C-alpha cells in the first residue's frame, strides 16, 4: 500500500507545492504550525480542494472522489466525537452510514481498551479517552488509509504516554498506511517509519525515519535542541540491580529497568547532545554506555556547535559537540571514535516498542 500525493495550491502569500510518497507504515508529516501539514491531509481526505494535485493509493486516483467515498479514517486533533451519540454509537457510525456490518468491533474495542466507555456520552470522557474513541471510530469506518492530525497535541504528557502505545500497535498490527501530522520530534522519533519534513508548503526532506533523524543536514531543520536519532535494540536481560541490558548491533547498553520480555525489539532514541565523543575508550568513568563508532559526516552549525554523524554497528547516530572539541579531537569522516551515551539520555518515555520479531 503506497499513498502518493502531489499538490499545488495558492492562497494569498502562501503557496503549497509539494509531492511525496507514503509507503506502508507510519509516515510523519513534520513541520512547524502553519507549514501546511493539516492542509495536506485535508486534501487527502477530500475536505480541501487544491488548485491542482493528485492523491493516489496503490496507483488508483482518489482525487475525483468526494470525501465519503474515499474511505480514509481521519483522527482529528480535537477528536470531534458526536455529542448526541454514545461511545458505542460513535464507533458504529461509519458502519451505520455505509449500511455495512461493522467488522472487528470487539477487537478494536479491546485494542483501545474502551469497553468500559461504550455506554457513555463524549461529554463524560477524559481527553485521553476521547482520543482513543476517535481512533476507534476512524478504524471502524473500514478505511484504506488512516489520517491522524496531531492526535496527541491537546493532551498532557501523561495522557500522551497513555495513547502512544496504541498508535504503535496500530502501526504494527493493522497494516494500514498511516499519515500522521506532528510538530513534536519525540513523537516523530518514536512512531515514524517514514518522515516527510514540510516547511512553508514545500517538502524539504523525506525518507526512512532512521535516515532522516540521523542526517546532520536535517537536524537544524528539525530543531537542534531536540536533534537525536533512533537505534533499534533488543532486550537482552533484566539485571538484578534494576538495570535492563539492551543488545544493539554495536554492543550492549544499560537502561534503568524497562518493561518488556527478553528478546523484544525496542526502539530507543538518543539525543544528539547526550552523546560524548572520545578518541580512546575511556576508563574510570561512571558512564556505563560506551559504543564504538566511525565518523560518517561532520556538519558545522551556525553557533559554536557541530553535528557529527556516526556509523554505529551499521546504524546511524547523531552527536552534537562543540566546534572546539571537534577541532581538538580532529573529527573527520572515516575516523573511529567511542561514543559515551549518558545513561539518562535514553529516557523511559522515549522507549518505544516496535514490531515484535
Taking residues 98 to 137 in sequence order and writing x for each that binds another protein by CB under 8 A, - otherwise, the string is: x---------------------xx-xx------------x
Long-range contacts of residues 235-238, Cβ cutoff 8 Å, at least 24 apart: 235/260, 235/261, 235/262, 235/263, 235/264, 235/266, 236/262, 237/262, 238/262
* Smallest distance from another protein to CB 128, Å: 18
* Smallest distance from another protein to CB 65, Å: 12
Asked if 78 is part of the footprint of another protein (rule: CB under 8 A), the reply reads: yes
Q: How far apart are CA 103 and CA 142, in angstroms?
A: 8
Residues 46-75 touching another protein, rule: CB under 8 A, are 47, 66-74
Taking residues 23 to 42 in sequence order and writing x for each that binds another protein by CB under 8 A, - otherwise, the string is: --------------------
Q: How far apart are CA 140 and CA 134, in angstroms?
A: 10
Asked if 94 is part of the footprint of another protein (rule: CB under 8 A), the reply reads: yes
Instruction: Tell me whether strands 3-11 and 52-57 are parallel, antiparallel or unpaired.
Output: antiparallel
Among 15, 93, 220, 224, binds another protein (CB under 8 A): 93
Residues 172-231 touching another protein, rule: CB under 8 A, are none
Nearer to another protein, 14 or 96 (CB): 96
Among 26, 45, 196, 346, binds another protein (CB under 8 A): 45
Asked if 97 is part of the footprint of another protein (rule: CB under 8 A), the reply reads: yes
Q: Which contiguous run of DSSP H or E holds residue 330?
A: none
Segment near another protein (CB under 8 A), from 79-87, 200-208, 241-249, 295-303? 79-87
Q: Which three cell numbers stand for residue 96?
A: 451505520
Distances from the Cα of 31 to the Cαs of 34, 40, 106, in angstroms?
Answer: 8, 12, 36
* Smallest distance from another protein to CB 179, Å: 13
Segment near another protein (CB under 8 A), from 55-63, 90-98, 110-118, 348-356? 90-98
* Smallest distance from another protein to CB 21, Å: 22
- DSSP class per residue in 19-83: EEEE-SSEEEEE--TTSSHHHHHHHHHTSS--SEEEEEETTEE-TTS-HHHH-EEEE-TT----T
* Smallest distance from another protein to CB 188, Å: 23
* Smallest distance from another protein to CB 42, Å: 9
Among 82, 249, 281, 344, binds another protein (CB under 8 A): 82
Among 3, 114, 138, 191, binds another protein (CB under 8 A): 138
Q: Binding-site residue total for another protein (CB under 8 A)?
A: 30
Nearer to another protein, 86 or 343 (CB): 86
* Smallest distance from another protein to CB 68, Å: 5
DSSP lists the bridge partners of residue 295 as 310
Three-class secondary structure of residue 291 per DSSP: strand
| Contacts for 321 with CB less than 8 Å, ≥ 6 apart | 276, 277, 305, 306, 308, 329, 331
Among 4, 54, 80, 338, binds another protein (CB under 8 A): 80
State the Rg of the chain over Cα.
22
* Smallest distance from another protein to CB 136, Å: 12
Is residue 30 within 8 Å of residue 23, measured between CB atoms? no
**Which segments of the chain are extended strands (E)?**
3-11, 14-22, 26-30, 52-57, 60-61, 72-75, 145-149, 178-182, 194-199, 202-208, 228-238, 243-248, 251-256, 265-271, 275-278, 289-300, 305-312, 315-322, 336-341, 352-353
Contact residues for another protein, defined by CB under 8 A: 45, 47, 66-74, 76, 78, 80, 82-84, 93-94, 96-98, 120-121, 123-124, 137-138, 141-142
Amino acid at each position: 500500500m503506497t499513498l502518493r500525493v502531489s499538490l499545488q495550491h495558492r492562497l494569498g502569500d502562501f503557496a503549497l507545492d509539494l509531492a511525496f510518497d507514503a509507503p506502508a507504515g507510519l509516515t510523519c508529516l513534520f513541520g512547524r504550525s502553519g507549514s501546511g501539514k493539516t492542509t495536506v491531509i485535508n486534501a487527502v481526505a477530500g475536505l480541501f480542494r487544491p488548485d491542482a494535485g493528485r492523491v493516489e493509493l496503490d496507483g488508483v486516483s482518489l482525487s475525483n472522489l468526494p470525501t465519503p467515498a474515499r474511505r480514509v479514517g481521519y483522527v482529528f486533533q480535537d477528536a470531534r466525537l458526536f455529542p448526541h451519540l454514545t461511545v458505542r454509537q460513535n464507533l458504529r457510525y461509519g458502519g451505520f452510514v455505509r449500511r455495512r456490518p461493522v467488522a472487528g468491533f470487539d477487537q478494536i474495542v479491546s485494542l483501545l481498551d474502551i469497553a468500559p466507555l461504550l455506554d457513555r456520552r463524549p461529554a463524560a470522557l477524559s481527553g485521553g479517552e476521547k482520543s482513543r474513541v476517535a481512533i476507534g471510530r476512524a478504524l471502524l469506518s473500514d478505511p484504506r488509509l488512516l489520517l491522524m492530525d496531531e492526535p496527541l497535541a491537546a493532551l498532557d504528557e501523561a495522557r500522551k504516554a497513555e495513547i502512544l502505545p496504541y498508535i504503535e500497535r496500530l502501526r504494527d498490527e493493522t497494516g494500514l498506511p498511516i499519515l500522521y501530522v506532528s510538530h513534536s520530534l519525540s513523537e516523530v522519533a518514536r512512531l515514524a517509519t517514514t518522515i516527510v519534513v514540510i516547511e512553508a508548503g514545500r517538502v524539504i526532506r523525506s525518507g526512512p525515519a532512521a535516515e532522516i533523524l540521523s542526517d546532520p543536514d536535517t537536524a537544524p531543520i528539525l530543531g537542534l535542541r531536540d536533534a537525536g536519532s533512533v537505534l533499534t535494540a533488543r532486550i537482552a536481560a533484566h539485571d538484578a540491580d534494576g538495570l535492563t541490558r539492551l543488545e544493539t548491533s554495536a554492543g550492549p547498553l544499560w537502561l534503568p529497568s524497562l518493561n518488556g520480555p527478553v528478546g523484544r525489539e525496542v526502539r530507543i532514541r538518543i539525543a544528539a547532545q547526550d552523546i560524548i565523543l572520545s578518541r580512546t575508550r575511556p576508563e574510570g568513568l561512571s558512564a556505563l554506555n560506551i559504543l564504538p563508532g566511525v565518523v560518517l559526516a561532520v556538519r558545522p552549525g551556525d553557533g559554536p556547535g557541530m553535528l557529527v554523524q556516526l556509523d554505529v554497528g551499521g546504524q546511524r547516530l547523531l552527536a552534537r559537540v562543540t566546534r572546539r572539541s571537534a577541532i581538538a579531537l580532529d573529527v573527520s569522516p572515516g575516523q573511529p571514535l567511542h561514543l559515551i551515551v549518558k545513561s539518562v539520555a535514553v529516557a523511559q518515555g522515549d522507549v518505544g516498542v516496535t514490531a515484535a520479531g
